[in-house]
């Protein structure tokens, strides 16, 4: 475990299921502060910074590096295969991890990452990825700080704000993910999967049914009234869904 990862060392049962959380675009491990705080007494938990993000902001982005970071976090917990929870960009990185490291995966939660990244609908995202480098990073950071503080309690987003944003990594990250993933990626997931989306996240729910059908042991759960940032919109409901899924995995259901 490196300093770019956050983990909790609170004593938990010896057979407790380990969890690794993977953040979304521009964020960091701090995205998961509410989930780590709520789950740490029952599960060994860790959250990683992907390459180019958080304390790894000086590292170049690549999906291969992202999967290696997730694998290292699983190994560092020392509890065997883990439940990996990935949001948005982190969800697609988790899919790549599942494909290359099936022996390290006990279960997968895809949050806001059940849309195909192929096809014409991706063009606006490619346009945004090209636009972001033209805007000063400090201006983008101020916009993001105001947005988060306008919509969410400080205790939910303060760790994210404190860690800063990875706007400089966005073009490379989206450039690699766009055009790469569709529902067929679920066929490479050997472990049970939960597709966990905000009810109002219409864009990233667009392939929800296809992603679920492509996996023999996947189910869909929606967070009522939540959008793309479901773990900010409804942190307790999001955490409860992850906790229930982890308990089911531990019980072999």
| Nearest alpha-carbon partner for 19 in 34, 7, 2 | 7
Q: Helix 170-177 and helix 123-131: axis angle, to 10°?
A: 160
pTM given for the model:
0.94
d(CA 90, CA 92): 5
- Model confidence over 90-139: pLDDT tens digits? 999 999 999 999 999 999 999 999 999 998 767 777 767 778 878 899 99
Beta bridge partners of 107: 83
Give the pLDDT of residue 8.
52
- Model confidence over 26-46: pLDDT tens digits? 999 999 999 999 999 999 999
Give the pLDDT of residue 15.
86
Evaluate whether 186 touches 214 at the Cβ level (below 8 Å). Answer: yes
Give the pLDDT of residue 1.
39
Can you list the residues of the chain whose pLDDT is less than 70?
1-11, 121, 127
CA R_g for the chain: 17
Beta bridge partners of 86: 22, 110
DSSP E strands, 28-151: 45-48, 82-87, 105-111
Pairing of strands 105-111, 45-48: unpaired
Evaluate whether 89 touches 21 at the Cβ level (below 8 Å). Answer: no
SS3 assignment, position 176: helix
């Amino acid at each position: 475990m490196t300093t770019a990862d956050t983990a909790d060392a609170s004593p938990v049962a010896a057979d407790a299921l380990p969890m690794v959380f993977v953040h979304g675009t521009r964020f960091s491990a701090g995205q998961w502060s509410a989930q780590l705080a709520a789950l740490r007494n029952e599960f060994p938990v860790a959250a990683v910074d992907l390459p180019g993000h958080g304390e790894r902001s000086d590292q170049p982005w690549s999906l291969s590096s992202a999967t290696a970071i997730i694998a290292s976090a699983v190994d560092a917990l020392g509890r065997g295969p883990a439940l990996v929870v990935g949001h948005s960009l982190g969800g697609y990185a988790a899919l790549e991890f599942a494909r290359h490291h099936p022996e390290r995966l006990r279960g997968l939660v895809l949050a806001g990452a059940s849309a195909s990244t192929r096809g014409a609908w991706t063009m606006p995202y490619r346009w945004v990825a090209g636009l972001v480098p033209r805007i000063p990073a400090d201006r983008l950071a101020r916009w993001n700080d105001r947005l988060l503080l306008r919509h969410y309690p400080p205790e939910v987003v303060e760790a994210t704000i404190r860690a800063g944003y990875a706007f400089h990594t966005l073009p490379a990250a989206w450039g690699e993910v766009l055009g790469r993933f569709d529902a067929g990626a679920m066929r490479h997931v050997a472990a049970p999967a939960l597709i966990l989306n905000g009810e109002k996240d219409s864009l990233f729910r667009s392939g929800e049914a296809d992603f679920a059908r492509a996996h023999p042991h996947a189910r869909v759960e929606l967070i009522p009234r939540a959008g793309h940032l479901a773990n900010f919109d409804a942190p307790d409901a999001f955490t409860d869904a992850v906790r229930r899924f982890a308990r089911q995995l531990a019980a072999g259901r």
